Amino acid sequence: MLLLTAAALACAVAAGQDVKPPDGRLPDGRTPEGRTVEKRRFALAGVWELGGSATFQRSVPVVNGAEGDAVYTLSALPYVGWFLFDGLELGANPLGVSMTRTGESTVVDLRFLFAPSWNFRMRGEWYPFIEGLVGYTARVTSTDEGDTTDDGITWGGRVGVKFWVVEQGLLTVGVQYLAVTLDPSNAKNRYGSNDIAAAVGFSVWF
């Protein structure tokens, strides 16, 4: 009888404890540090990523091929991406917006950028990436005399790191460069701007 009672107590205690499989994970999928193995799915084929970033930007205007004085501005860039296969993400910034006030004028940039990237799948909780940027920018300049609009091709790139911060949530930090071309129809030299920015963003994936 005592042996049966002891065996029953042992079974009850064992049932209330987490039993670790040989690979170190708990039965519910958690690692010993409390993270889930779900994070290992990021950057795999078929995964979607939705989010955006804010940038602090240094923009150097280019007029007739000559650079002017730099101006500083904030911008917002929404983001959507889909992994075609492991590591390769086809992404886009569908409507980036930035606004700059200079003297008596206000300049608003609206842009759409195609943003393919390669995400390196590391063993830890961070993912370095390299991203190409190419698309279209429309620049609206408002003064007391009215509005003018210029548009053209934009290209550049971004490098950075995505950090695992919450369940299926990533903090992104990076730096980017954009060459904005807004040449008039009869221009012989370049018009536009050279933009360098630091970016911080957040995204979720599923």
205 pLDDT band (50/70/90 cuts)? very high
Gap between the Cα atoms of 37 and 81, Å rounded:
22
Q: H or E element: which one contains 53?
A: strand 48-63
What length is written for the chain?
206
Q: E strands within 64-125? A: 66-67, 71-85, 88-102, 105-114, 117-119
Cβ proximity of 117 and 129 under 8 Å: yes
Give the pLDDT confidence of 99-121 residue by residue, as tens digits.
888 778 888 999 999 999 999 98
Gap between the Cα atoms of 143 and 106, Å rounded:
7
Q: H or E element: which one contains 5?
A: helix 2-15
Q: Percentage of residues in the chain with pLDDT exceeding 70?
A: 81
List the chain domain ranges: 1-34, 40-205
Q: Cα 200 from chain centroid?
A: 8
40 pLDDT band (50/70/90 cuts)? low
Q: What is the mean pLDDT of residues 63-81?
A: 91
And the tokens for 106?
A: 């206000």
pLDDT score at 123: 75
Residue 106 main-chain phi, psi, to 5 deg = -125, 130
- Among residues 74, 37, 72, 42, the alpha carbon closest in space to that of 161 is found at 42
CATH assignment of 40-205, given 3.40.50.1970, 2.40.160.20, 3.30.465.10, 3.40.190.290? 2.40.160.20
Gap between the Cα atoms of 70 and 68, Å rounded:
6
Q: H or E element: which one contains 12?
A: helix 2-15
